[in-house]
Amino acid sequence: MDILNAQEMDPAILLGIVNERLRLGHGDINDLAAELGMGSIELEARLAELGFYYQPGSNQFKAR
């Protein structure tokens, strides 16, 4: 599934897609952010709007 306009996507929907892709084979957030056409800092900021933060150990976004 291609994600068009990930920058404009609802953060809640983006969260589900991002965690699924991280779980299914992206090595880290940098690889995934590049595929989505955005920087990892921008991706992290979008998901922080919902209170979710990237956890490198589990390679997913989790609530703090």
| pTM for the model | 0.84
**Domain spans in the chain, listed from the N-terminal domain onward:** 11-63
Model confidence at 4: pLDDT above 70:
no
pLDDT digits (tens, 9 = 90+) for 20-37: 999 998 888 999 998 888
CA pair distance 57, 64, nearest whole angstrom: 14
Structure tokens at 24: 């299914």
Model confidence at 19: pLDDT above 70:
yes
Spatial contact of 50 and 11, defined as CB atoms under 8 Å apart: yes
CA pair distance 62, 47, nearest whole angstrom: 10
CA pair distance 39, 44, nearest whole angstrom: 9
- 1-10, 13-22, 34-43: segment of lowest average pLDDT: 1-10
User: Could you tell me the maximum CA-CA distance found in the chain, to the nearest angstrom?
Assistant: 29
